[in-house]
């Protein structure tokens, strides 16, 4: 390769190396020695002058001197910019004595916190926890609960249908049917889970929400026991001073039936949190229990409503819009 091309090659190689310039002192010395040392690449080019034609030597010598001056100036400027007064090397820029930056951590969602509290209260009085399918057949969601096809009570729950015989469950009551089909009495369970209804969305209603179903079946069960159970729950969830009332109501799968309201101090009005009642004998017969021997009560309560009342939250939609400002209040 002609000497002129070798000069260009060394220049380009030096420019590439100095772009990724090593900043540790031993590596700086290595780079200087590689190009400008006594046995460096520039010195090797000078040693090849004897091979150049005598008429070209003055011009090649001038180009070699220019190369050496150019590389030396660029090297010194680079070193000066790195080791300028007040400028730290990368190793010195990390102060290992300073506290680290803690990563941002998530927290348990307020609905999960509320649900956990509810489960602990009921477990403390002997209830077991069970779970069941969110997509279920029409029989378990309606018919077995004394809501046959074309029954007017089906209009109380606007249903999402997967197909003609399969639905997104409208309540966790479907699981009580599965439990009673698979277990002999007595049984005492709560069933937490998501439910779905095609309802108009408002500050207190949403198309997706959470329920806790309760079911207790035994030989001697009274409405008074049901009231005692729910009053115990309200006292431990909201405190002994919180206003609570039972209202007569209607549900196809319980008789007699009632709804329970809690006083909403934020809105100064009663807010319904659950429906309850004695299990209808037809439901017991549907699952193979002898309704002349076995009796029971059931209830279903909304987790969102309870969280709204406990923490003075005025809109159910806040649970689902993912606003970090809202969620951080409960971290």
> Does residue 100 form part of some domain?
no
Question: 86 vs 40, 62, 72, 76, 81, CA distance in Å?
Answer: 32, 39, 24, 18, 11
Query: How far apart (Å, rounded) are the C-alpha atoms in residues 143 and 256?
Result: 19
Residues 248 and 133 in one domain: yes
pTM of the full predicted structure?
Answer: 0.66
Task: Tell me the three state secondary structure of residue 189.
Answer: strand
Residues 56 and 160 in one domain: no
Quote the pLDDT of residue 212.
96
Helix, strand, coil % in the chain, rounded to nearest 5: 45, 20, 35
Contact present, 245 and 314 (Cβ < 8 Å)? no
DSSP state string for 102-132: PPP-----HHHHHHHHHHHHHHTTT-EE---
Residues 258 and 179 in one domain: yes
**Which is nearest to 286 in space by CA: 147, 82, 113, 95?**
147
pLDDT in tens, 166-223: 999 999 999 999 999 999 999 999 999 999 988 888 877 788 899 999 999 999 999 9
Residues 156 and 7 in one domain: no
pLDDT in tens, 28-72: 778 788 888 888 888 888 888 888 888 888 888 888 888 888 888
> Does residue 99 form part of some domain?
no
pLDDT in tens, 234-243: 999 998 888 9
* DSSP code of residue 78: H
Enclosing domain of residue 216: 110-330
Quote the pLDDT of residue 118.
96
Query: How far apart (Å, rounded) are the C-alpha atoms in residues 48 and 1?
Result: 11
Quote the pLDDT of residue 234.
94
Quote the pLDDT of residue 203.
77
Quote the pLDDT of residue 178.
95
pLDDT in tens, 281-305: 999 999 999 999 999 999 999 999 8
Question: In terms of residues, how long is the chain?
Answer: 331
Quote the pLDDT of residue 245.
94
pLDDT in tens, 213-253: 999 999 999 999 999 999 999 999 998 888 999 999 999 89
DSSP state string for 256-282: EEEEEEEEETTTTEEEEEEEEEEEPHH
Which segment of 147-151, 166-170, 208-212, 307-311 scores lowest on mean pLDDT?
A: 147-151
CB atoms closer than 10 angstroms to residue 210: 22
Instruction: Tell me what the pLDDT averaged over the chain comes to.
Output: 87
Quote the pLDDT of residue 43.
86
Query: How far apart (Å, rounded) are the C-alpha atoms in residues 84 and 101?
Result: 29
> Does residue 104 form part of some domain?
no
Task: Tell me the three state secondary structure of residue 41.
Answer: helix
Number of domains in the chain: 2
Rounded mean pLDDT of 315-320? 90
Residues 170 and 310 in one domain: yes
Quote the pLDDT of residue 331.
82
Residues 66 and 123 in one domain: no
Residues 245 and 310 in one domain: yes
- Higher-confidence residue: 16 or 185? 185
CB atoms closer than 10 angstroms to residue 31: 19
The reply to whether omega before 256 is within 30° of 0 (cis) is yes
Checking if the pLDDT of 159 tops 80, the result is yes
Quote the pLDDT of residue 73.
86
Quote the pLDDT of residue 84.
61
CA–centroid distance for 321 within its chain: 12
| 129: phi then psi, degrees, rounded to nearest 5 | -110, 130
Residues 122 and 254 in one domain: yes
Q: Binning pLDDT at 50, 70 and 90, where does residue 153 land? A: low
CA–centroid distance for 214 within its chain: 27
pLDDT in tens, 75-96: 888 777 766 655 555 555 667 7
Residues 125 and 7 in one domain: no
Q: Binning pLDDT at 50, 70 and 90, where does residue 314 land? A: confident
* DSSP code of residue 52: S
Rounded mean pLDDT of 311-315? 87
């Amino acid at each position: 390769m002609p000497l002129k091309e070798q000069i260009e090659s060394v220049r380009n190689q030096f420019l590439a190396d100095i772009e990724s310039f090593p900043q540790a002192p031993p590596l700086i010395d290595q780079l200087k020695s590689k190009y400008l040392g006594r046995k460096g690449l520039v010195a090797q080019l000078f040693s090849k002058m004897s091979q150049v034609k005598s008429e070209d030597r003055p011009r090649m010598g001038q180009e070699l001197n220019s190369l050496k001056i150019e590389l030396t100036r660029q090297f010194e400027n680079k070193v000066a910019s790195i080791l300028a007064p007040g400028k730290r090397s990368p190793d010195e820029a990390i102060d290992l004595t300073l506290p680290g930056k803690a990563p941002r951590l998530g927290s348990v969602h307020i609905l999960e916190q509320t649900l956990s509290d509810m489960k602990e209260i009921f477990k403390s009085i002997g209830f077991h926890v069970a779970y069941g399918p969110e997509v279920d057949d029409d029989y378990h969601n309606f018919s077995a609960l004394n809501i046959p096809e074309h029954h007017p009570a089906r209009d109380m729950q606007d249903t999402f249908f997967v197909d003609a015989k399969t639905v997104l469950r409208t309540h966790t009551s479907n699981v009580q049917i599965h439990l009673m089909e698979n277990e002999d009495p007595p049984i005492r369970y709560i069933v937490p889970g998501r439910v779905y209804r095609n309802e108009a969305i408002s500050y207190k209603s949403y198309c997706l929400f959470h329920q806790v179903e309760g079911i207790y079946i035994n030989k001697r069960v009274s409405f008074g026991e049901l009231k005692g159970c729910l009053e115990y729950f309200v006292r431990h969830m909201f405190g002994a001073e919180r206003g609570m009332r039972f209202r007569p109501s209607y549900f196809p799968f319980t008789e007699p039936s009632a709804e329970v309201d809690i006083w909403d101090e934020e809105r100064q009005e009663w807010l319904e949190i659950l429906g309850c009642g004695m299990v209808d004998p037809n439901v017991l017969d549907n699952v193979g229990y002898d309704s002349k021997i076995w009796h029971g009560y059931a209830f279903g309560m909304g987790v969102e409503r309870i969280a709204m009342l406990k923490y003075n939250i005025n809109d159910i939609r806040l649970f689902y819009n993912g606003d970090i400002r809202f969620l951080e209040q409960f971290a």
